[in-house]
Amino acid sequence: MEKKEPLVSICIPAYNAQKYIGTTLDSLLNQSYQNLEIIVVNDGSTDGTMNVLKSYEAKGITVLDQPNRGQCAAANSAFRVSNGEYIKFVDADDLLSRDFIKNQIATLNGRRDSIASAAWGRFYGDDLSTFNLNPEKVWQDMPSMEWLVESLWNGPNMMQCALFLIPREVLEKSGLWDERLSLINDFDFFIRVILASQQILFTENATLYYRSGIENSLSAQKSRRAYESAYLSTELGVKWLLAAENSERVRKICADAFQLWKYDFYPNHNDLYSKSETWIKKLGGSQYPFPAGGITKTLAKFTGWKFARRFKLLIK
């Protein structure tokens, strides 16, 4: 008797995603792996997102509508009605290579204690000809903590949700998305998910096409609420990491995570800057450099990063 392929649930939060959601859904409907359920939560969109989604219901996509509660709440709503043995969270503008899910299922080969990762690269706007792969050292099979340390060792890392195929059992152990968070909500979430897994298994022949340069994307937010979310997500993620391994190498990546945001918090959010500084000192300090290029880099070298940061904000 032929073994039945496991059901994969794809959970998509969508807010004002009219421009790209159809392309994303086409990418998923064209997957070579067929035992899928696709669940999209319209999170109080004010554009034509719901009209686009309704046109896809006849193709078997489940559409839920809720008042605007944020990306995390929408992702959780989709998960709660899902039935899959494996779960993939996908943003409303993501594109996946045709055999993405098929190959990740093959990589996991029935395992329920590990998650599958994938390759990724950026493209800009609607132009896939701008796509380039972005190879990382974590593009290999790794124990979970080793993956996290390597991924975070040099500062900013990629934990984009569509990269990962997650067994339901892992999510039940790690917990869902923290609905208090908006900006960098994936930092807290995927640290928990990864620590709840035995291994990260890399799927070389699965590629995420990551759309960049969208003006109103969540990652482009710079409101006070977004900065508060960035701080809280960093603090939560750091606490999970330290609880799992309070070593010199883990304290180093935790201090660097705060250092990165410390630069961004200055000078307009001094309370978050000060709290980050306290964490950095507690963790033993950070050598992560001020991120700058061109004239800002030159200024930072001669005047210090604080002056360069103020100058950068002034000319924006």
Structure confidence by residue, pLDDT tens digits, 272-312 = 999 999 999 999 999 999 998 888 899 999 999 999 999 88
Residue 8, both tokens: 């994969």
Question: Bridge partners of 208?
Answer: 96, 120
Q: Largest alpha-carbon pair distance within the chain?
A: 72
pTM: 0.94
Q: From CA 49, how far away is CA 62, in angstroms rounded?
A: 14
Q: From CA 169, how far away is CA 310, in angstroms rounded?
A: 47
> In this structure, are residues 194 and 158 in contact, taking their beta carbons and an 8 Å threshold?
no
> Cα angle vertex 237, ends 236, 243, to 5°?
90
Give the residue range(s) of CATH 3.90.550.10 domains in the chain.
8-214
Q: Is the peptide bond before 143 cis (omega within 30 degrees of 0)?
A: no
Domain 8-214: give its CATH code: 3.90.550.10
Structure confidence by residue, pLDDT tens digits, 102-146 = 999 999 999 999 999 999 999 998 889 999 998 999 999 999 999
